[in-house]
Structure 1
C-alpha cells in the first residue's frame, strides 16, 4: 500500500510539472486577457504546491513539517508580503519593472532535494505580486483583447518550457528537472509576460538602469572589501577553491564570480549605451567614471567568460552606433592578435598546445566537461537523458567524483544536447534565431533597442562559456524589454511608448 501511494505521488509530481509548464505557456499565448490572467494565477498557485510535494519528506523541511504553527506563520507572512506588493503595483504599475530590476541580483541559499540552491527569492515575491495585481485587474476587465499577439519568439519560448517539463518526466534526475521548472522556467516565463506589457519609455529604461548602476556600485565596493581582506562573505566552497589558485576571485553577494561578472557586464553595457548616444558632456564624464569603477570590480572577479561577454557586447554597440564594416574589421584584427599570442606565447596563459590536460586546465575544466557531454549526447542523440540530468549522469557515466561534475557542462549547447537530444537542441537553436531577429530589428532606431541587442549577445556569449540561459532571469527580461521596445516610437515620432498592443509594430519585430 505504501509503495503504491509513493508511485501515485511520483506520477502526480510528473504530471504536475507538465501542467504548470502548460499554464505558463498559456499565460503568454492565450488570445484573451482573462485567459492569460487565469493561466498565470494557476501557475502561481501550482508552483509552490509542486515544490512542497517534492521536498516534503526531506530533512530540509523537517522543522516546518513537524511544527505546523511555524509553517502556517511562514506561509501567512509570505502571502502578506505578496499582497502588499500587489496592492502597490496595482496602484502604481510602473513600479513593477523597477522592483523587478532591483530584485534581480539578490539570491538566498535554500536547501531543496538534498542540495543548496541560491534562489532569487526577492524576485519571486515581485513576480508573484505582479501576477496577482495584473491577474485580478484583468479578470474584472470588460475588454478581453490581449496585447502582443504571440509570434515565433513567444511560441518557441513556450515550446522550450513545455518541452523541458516533458523531458523532465523521464529524466535520470527528475528532482533536479522539477526544481529547474518551478524555480526558473515557469517564474521567468511569467516575468516575461509582465515586463513585455509594461508601457516602456526611454525615461523608464533610464530609471531601471539607474537602479542597476547603483546596485552594481555597491556590489563592487563589497568586492573591494573582500579582496582587501582576502575573505569572501558568501560561498565557502569558493573560498576553499581559491586556496589552490595564484589569484583571489571576489564574488560580492553573488555566490559565484561568473554570475557576478555577468551582472556587471549587463550594467556596463547599459552605461556605455548612454555614453555613446548622449550629447551631454556631464553624462559622458559620469558614465566614464562609473565604468572605471565597475571595470575594477570585474577585473577582481577574474571571470574570463565575463570579459568575453563584455567584448562581444561592446562590438555590437559599436556596430549599431557607427558602422558594421569597421567593427568587423577591428574584431578580426583582435582575433588575429589573440590567436598569435596563443600560438607564439602559450606559456603566458599556462597552455601547452600539445597537451589536452593543459587545455583543460586553461579552460578551468571545461574541455573535459564538453567532451563528456558530447559522449552523453552520442549515447542518446534523439531524446537525451532528460532535463536536469547532466550532473548526475555525467558523474555516473564518466565515473568521476562529485566535485569534478558541476551543475552543467559550462557550455549551454552541450548541456541542451546531452539532456534534451536533437529535439531540444533544435528548439534551442530556433529560439536563438527568433530572439536575435526580434532584438536586432530596428536596433539602430533607439538606444534602448541597441542596448537590449548588445546585452543579449553578451549574455549569449557568456552562456557559451559558463551556464544558465533560460535559467537566468536576465534572458527573459531582455527579451521582454526588447519585445516591448519594438513598439516604441522612433525619435521625432513622440516621447512616450506606443500602446503595447500595436500589432503592426510588433509584427515587424519578427
Structure 2
C-alpha cells in the first residue's frame, strides 16, 4: 500500500471514534465519535484505493452520474428514516446479507453495498434526530466496554499488522461500520411489533435463499461462485451457493432462520404445521449446500433450544443423543483419517488450525495485527500456499493469532457480556430473548468452523438488539418469569402483569 502511514493513523482515529460512540453517554459524544469514525473511513479508503482508481469515480460522466444518484439515494433514505425511524432495524436486516460485485479500476471486491447504503442513510438520519434533541441512548456497559475495547485494539493493531492491506479492509468495511450499526439500532424507538417484523424478515430472506438454492440444484447451474462450480464438475454431488459466493455463508443465513422458527414453534407463536413446513423447506435448500459448519451449528442450536424448553425426560434423551452423535462423529472422522488424512476428513480445518496456532505461539501477547494471520501463517508455518488459502476458519484462533492474549481476553469478555445481555432479555421478554439467543448461538458455533464472525453484520445486529430491547424494557410491562415446561404448538395466554402488581413481586434471582 502506497499510503501505509495514512492507513495506520486513520485506523487509530477510527478506533477512538468507534469506542467513543459505543461508550457515549450524551448526544455530543455520539456525534463526536461518529465524526471521528467518518473521517477515519475516508482516510482508510484513500489509503487503500490508489489515486488513479479514485479518479474513476468522477472522471467518466457516467460514473459521476452514478455517484450523484447514489448520494441522492442515501439522502432520500435519510429523510425517510428521520420521519420513520422505527423502520431502521428492519431495513438494516433486509439489506445485511447481500453482496454486490464492485470494480473501480484494478480494485475488485464483493461488498455489502446495500447494507452500506442503508447504514449511511440511517446514520445521517440519526445525526438529524440527535441535533433535534432526542434523549441519548447509553449502551449497557456489559456490551459497550468490551465492544469498544475490541474495536479500539483492532484499530491500533494496524500499526504492527503483517498485512496492511487486509487489515485496512477489515476495519474499513467491517469493524468500524458495524460499530455504527450498533448505535443505529439502539437509537431506534422500540415498538412491540419489532420482534415479529424482524423474525418475519429473517425467515423471508432465508426462504428466498433456499428457493434459489433448490433452483440451482434442479438446473445444476446458475452458481455465483466459479470455484464451487468448477469443483462440482469433479464430484458426485452438486453443491449450491444460492445468492452467495460460498455454501457455508448461505448455510449460516438459513440456519439462523430455522433457529428462530424452532423457538416460535416451541413457544406457540406460530402454528405447529406451518412452522414445520417452513423449517422443512429451509432444510431442503440447506441440505444441498453440504456445509459441515452449518450442519454442526444447526445440530447445536436445535439441541440447545429443545433442552431449554423441553421437559426432564426430553432433556435426558437429548443429552444421551447428543453424546452419541458427538462420539459417532468423532469415530467417523477417525475412521476417515485412516484411509485419507485428518486434513481431508475435516475439509482442511486441522491444517488451518495448525498454521494459525504457530502464529499465536510466536506472538502470544498482542499477535500479528488485524488481518495479518494469513500472511503470517504463510511466512512462519512455511505453507507454500497463497495467504488467502491459509486464512483460519476458527474465530478464537484468529483472534489469538492477530490480537494475542490481550485480544483473546477482550473477545471472551465480549462473548460473556453478550450472553449476559441475552439472559437478561429472556427474563424481560422470553420469546425475543430466546430467539435472539438462538441466533447468537448459531453464529457463535458456526464461527468455530468457518471464518467471518466479526465480519457478519447480523452478529453485531443481534447483540445490538439485546441492548435495544433492554433499554426499552422500563417503558414496557416485563413478562413474569415462567418456569413451566413449554410444549410445541401451545400458547401462553396469561395476561401481562401491571407495573403496580410487579412492584409487589419478589425480586427474581439469577
With normalisation by structure 1, the TM-score equals: 0.87
Is 1:263 paired with 2:253? yes
Contact 1:38 1:139 in 2 (8 A): no
Q: 2:68 is matched with which residue: 35, 58, 76?
A: 76
Q: 1:407 to 1:327 in 2, by over 3 A?
A: farther
Is 1:138 paired with 2:130? yes
Structure 1 residue 331: Cα displacement = 4.0
Structure 1 residue 495: Cα displacement = 11
The match for 1:129 is 121
Is 1:188 paired with 2:172? no
Q: 1:100 to 1:308 in 2, by over 3 A?
A: same
Q: 1:115 to 1:312 in 2, by over 3 A?
A: farther
The match for 1:505 is none
Q: 1:490 to 1:469 in 2, by over 3 A?
A: same
The SS at the match of 2:20 is helix
Q: 1:377 to 1:114 in 2, by over 3 A?
A: farther
The SS at the match of 1:148 is coil
The SS at the match of 1:109 is strand
Question: Number of matched residues?
Answer: 482
Structure 1 residue 353: Cα displacement = 4.6
The match for 1:320 is 308
The match for 2:224 is 234
Listed as ranges, the gaps of 5+ residues in structure 2 are 480-494, 500-507
Contact 1:99 1:126 in 2 (8 A): yes
RMSD: 2.8
Could you list the per-position Cα deviations for residues 446-490 of structure 1 after superposition, in whole angstroms to 9, with x for gaps in the alignment? 201111111101110000011112211011110011112224333
Structure 1 residue 509: Cα displacement = 13
Structure 1 Cα separation of the partners of residues 148 and 71 of structure 2: 28
Contact 1:320 1:450 in 2 (8 A): no
Is 1:446 paired with 2:459? no
Contact 2:158 2:369 in 1 (8 A): yes
Is 1:107 paired with 2:90? no
Structure 1 Cα separation of the partners of residues 167 and 279 of structure 2: 38
Structure 1 residue 406: Cα displacement = 3.0
Structure 1 Cα separation of the partners of residues 265 and 69 of structure 2: 43
Contact 1:232 1:250 in 2 (8 A): no
The match for 2:344 is 361
The match for 1:22 is 16
The match for 2:5 is 11
Structure 1 residue 34: Cα displacement = 3.0
The match for 2:324 is 337
Alignment of 1:452-463 (within 5 A): 452-463=436-447
Is 1:178 paired with 2:168? yes
Q: 2:417 is matched with which residue: 434, 442, 449?
A: 434
Is 1:464 paired with 2:454? no
Could you list the per-position Cα deviations for residues 260-301 of structure 1 after superposition, in whole angstroms to 9, with x for gaps in the alignment? 111001111112222111266xx3322211111001011011
The match for 1:504 is none
The match for 1:3 is none
Structure 1 residue 53: Cα displacement = 3.0
Contact 2:352 2:390 in 1 (8 A): no
Structure 1 residue 56: Cα displacement = 2.0
The SS at the match of 1:367 is helix
Alignment of 1:42-57 (within 5 A): 42-57=36-51
Contact 2:56 2:104 in 1 (8 A): no
Q: 1:71 to 1:358 in 2, by over 3 A?
A: same
Is 1:303 paired with 2:291? yes
The match for 2:491 is none
Q: 1:379 to 1:74 in 2, by over 3 A?
A: same
Structure 1 Cα separation of the partners of residues 509 and 101 of structure 2: 38
Q: 1:362 to 1:202 in 2, by over 3 A?
A: farther
Structure 1 Cα separation of the partners of residues 497 and 437 of structure 2: 22
Q: 1:27 to 1:18 in 2, by over 3 A?
A: same
Could you list the per-position Cα deviations for residues 307-352 of structure 1 after superposition, in whole angstroms to 9, with x for gaps in the alignment? 11112222332233235x65653443123322443466x3xx6843
Structure 1 residue 150: Cα displacement = 4.1
Contact 2:247 2:289 in 1 (8 A): yes
The match for 2:240 is 250
Q: 1:79 to 1:175 in 2, by over 3 A?
A: same
Could you list the per-position Cα deviations for residues 210-245 of structure 1 after superposition, in whole angstroms to 9, with x for gaps in the alignment? 222222222211111111222243121221233343
Structure 1 residue 391: Cα displacement = 1.8
Contact 2:4 2:164 in 1 (8 A): no
Structure 1 Cα separation of the partners of residues 377 and 40 of structure 2: 31
Could you list the per-position Cα deviations for residues 141-174 of structure 1 after superposition, in whole angstroms to 9, with x for gaps in the alignment? 1x6x522354032110011111011112211101
The SS at the match of 2:391 is coil
Listed as ranges, the gaps of 5+ residues in structure 1 are 1-5, 497-507
